[in-house]
Structure 1
Amino acid sequence: MEIPSFDLAGKTALVTGGSKGIGFGMAMALGHYGADLAIVGRNPQDGEDAVRAFKEKGMQAEFFQADVTDKAQVARIVVEVVGHFGKIDILLNNAGMNIRKPLTEVEEADWDQVLATNLKGIFLVGQAVARHMITRNKGRIINVSSILGSIGLPNQTSYAASKGGINQLTKVWAAELAPYQITVNGIGPAYIKTPMTEKWMSDPKRYSEIVSSTLLGRIGELEDLAGPVVFLASDTSAYVTGQILYVDGGWLAR
């Protein structure tokens, strides 16, 4: 029996939305285990700042500017990433956003913006990268979902709909891509502490509500996503596909 490795050396990971937030944290974990990082985002300054941080840790990383809701831009960056690194072994399909409003106040433009980024963007990038991976007969696709893909919370109409859609895309793609030895899984975080979420998490009432909903009694940290994403990206998960791995402190077990 040969024990598979978590080592990602020699592999290239394309990470959308990898310049900040949970995307940055998960990209850092992939880079720590040896993956070369292709960071995709809309904001060049954020992207270059992230790449600098990765390189300061001794990682190989480059930034590629694109809007994941634009098919032509997605096609371009896949070509650019393959041209630069030679291949794409891992896709961390992470780019996303949220507009929190009660149902009666959600504008059509709000719905369109959230679904375009969170669901259409996942589809476009996944489709383009899958075409490349099929030619290599191998690959790992990891779609970033949320506990909101499985539960309902107030003021999350568009976001929850997009994450539920991601869960179903993950299962369908797993079935379609299995013949090519491409695994497709999802990560479903609960609330994770990042610079972007710290402000509203500083509200004592909201913080207490979140903490009381988790069995472990705390907010998630970026480090809590490191193990799950490396597991799904590495050879250790070769027989795992079509799954959503919830990183939620036990929220869904309540």
Structure 2
Amino acid sequence: MYPQFDLTGRVAMITGASKGIGFGLAKAMAHAGAKVAVAARNGEELDQLVSEIRADGGDAVAFILDVRNVKEIDSVINGVKMHFGRLDILVNNAGLGDNHPAVDVTEEDWDNMMNVNLKGLFFCCQSAGKIMLAQGYGKIINMSSQASVVGIVDHAVYCTSKGGVNQLTRVLALEWSSRGVNVNAVGPTFTYTPGNSERLDDPAYLEGVLGRIPNRRLAEISDVAGAVIYLASPASDMVTGTTLMVDGGWTAQ
């Protein structure tokens, strides 16, 4: 029997899908055959994404979602199930990545990042998990980071939030995998997107980053999508509770 990476017939929801990695993940998963529900705060960008997916022959629908609002999470995820009849895959991509020296972090900085990167992610897992457990099948993929396992200067809050994502992923896998719901995470290195282009277009900053990556290149959205599609597909049915690094070897050092 050969591994199957096809997502045909599966329903996938991607949070933070209006731009960057989430935008690319949604298109890649639709290309792999999934029906996709894309969610974020920016409706115009979501509409553009849906139009592009449909133009390529895919099936997509948009939902406005702020993952800091737990009631909104339940409403949207239940709306996805009502629209498609089921929910098979959740990609928790919504996140913040601001950097602050530790001595300058405010309570607001801490709460803003934790509310999105960890609290919102958990309640998306919980809401989708209820549907998937009732189905007896589901794949949850949480967006972590290489910063979840190595320290990054001026990223105390971010690193803490992503470390929490890894630990949460392990616990949910222990609780749910015996009931058909696999939970994993993906940990990308620096990935070039419009949101971080200002830093990565600085030659000095870029050289500092590339000096830590044995592959000597930044990740591309397609690199991250490959890992996500693997974890969403039947090929990964025996994989749960793990964080798959897409870091060009950064964390191997």
1:152 aligns with: 151
How far, CA to CA, are the matches of 2:26 and 2:4 in structure 1? 18
> What is the identity, as a one-letter code, of the residue corresponding to 2:230?
F
1:165-244 equivalence runs, <5 A: 165-244=164-243
Does the CA contact (< 8 Å) of 1:138 and 1:180 recur in 2? yes
1:1-254 equivalence runs, <5 A: 2-254=1-253
Residues paired across the two proteins, number: 253
How far, CA to CA, are the matches of 2:155 and 2:96 in structure 1? 11
How far, CA to CA, are the matches of 1:51 and 1:107 in structure 2? 37
Q: CA RMSD in A?
A: 0.9
Render the CA deviation track for 1:41-70: whole Å, top value 9, x for unaligned: 111112112212222222111110111111
Deviation at 1:88, TM superposition (A): 0.5
Aligned to 2:192, what secondary structure does the other structure show? coil
29-38 or 45-54, larger mean C-alpha shift: 45-54
Does the CA contact (< 8 Å) of 1:215 and 1:249 recur in 2? yes
How far, CA to CA, are the matches of 1:226 and 1:69 in structure 2? 25
Deviation at 1:81, TM superposition (A): 0.4
Render the CA deviation track for 1:4-58: whole Å, top value 9, x for unaligned: 3111011000100012111111222211110011001111112112212222222
> What is the identity, as a one-letter code, of the residue corresponding to 1:84?
H
Aligned to 1:109, what secondary structure does the other structure show? helix
Aligned to 1:113, what secondary structure does the other structure show? helix
Aligned to 2:218, what secondary structure does the other structure show? coil
> What is the identity, as a one-letter code, of the residue corresponding to 1:94?
N
Moved over 4 A (4+): none
Aligned to 2:186, what secondary structure does the other structure show? strand
Deviation at 1:76, TM superposition (A): 0.4
Alignment TM-score, normalising by the size of structure 1: 0.97
Render the CA deviation track for 1:209-232: whole Å, top value 9, x for unaligned: 111111110111111112211110
Does the CA contact (< 8 Å) of 1:32 and 1:59 recur in 2? yes
Does the CA contact (< 8 Å) of 1:69 and 1:124 recur in 2? no
How far, CA to CA, are the matches of 1:241 and 1:63 in structure 2? 28
* Percent sequence identity over aligned pairs: 40
How far, CA to CA, are the matches of 2:210 and 2:65 in structure 1? 36
Alignment TM-score, normalising by the size of structure 2: 0.98
Aligned to 2:184, what secondary structure does the other structure show? strand
